[in-house]
Amino acid sequence: MPTYMDIHDIPGGVSAKDVADAHYKDVAIQDKYGVKFHKYWVNEKSGKVFCLCHAPDAESAEKVHREAHGLMPEKVIQVEPEMADLFMGAAETNSAGAALFPRGTQDDRDPGIRTILFTDIVESTSLTQKIGDEEAMEVVELHDAIVRDALKDLGGREVKHLGDGIMASFVSAAAAVKCAARVQNEIAKRAQEKTDQPVRIRVGIAAGDASAGG
């Protein structure tokens, strides 16, 4: 059954209790429409709520909301379950169904804000032409190892390998910045040690809520 994330935008903010009440109402009638709501992320200050569910189609998920409480989403997007877990993390939930920060308490609700980090080997095509396929692959493998080691140590999750770069997700913006600095420093050290393989990388960081990931 397809997986969907629906996105609610409630002007003026929303309380965690109100969202929990709405979730309970969804769960009470979801079987009627063949829907299964798994968890939700709530940003009380901004009024953003993101619900993750399995449903036959987007319309069925909307029908549950309409009948249960009338709070309709701004949009409903189909997502790949594996990508959703990589981007958001396979978060535990509290008793009300709200996603929690890793190792968080029942009140440590995750608002769904993520910082995305992108790496990119500068001019990878011309580098390959200059040093050859075999050495160019060594450069990519080195890049991947450096980035993945930094992700492991700083709590990042690899979302996608981009051929000559990596896309990763962080709960902590500070950790993403530390990761970027570490990767750049490690690549710079490598460039000094092996001048015949002049490799440079770009690192970009962007922060936003779950709707940016859809």
Taking only the tens place, the pLDDT of each residue in 141-155 is: 999 999 999 999 999
Task: Report residue 124 as tokens.
Answer: 């990878």
Q: Report the 10 Å Cβ neighbour count for 65.
A: 23
Cα 124 off chain centre by? 26
Which pTM was predicted?
A: 0.77
Q: Does 214 score more than 60 pLDDT? A: no
Q: Are the CB atoms for 179 and 150 separated by under 8 Å?
A: yes
How big is the chain by its Cα radius of gyration, in Å? 21
pLDDT, tens digit, for every residue of 119-138? 998 888 787 887 788 888 88
Nearest to 166 by CA among 212, 205, 118: 118
Judge residue 22's burial from the number of C-beta atoms within 10 Å of its C-beta, 0-12 exposed, 13-18 middle, 19 or more buried: buried
pLDDT, tens digit, for every residue of 55-75? 999 999 999 999 999 999 999
More confident residue, 192 or 168: 168
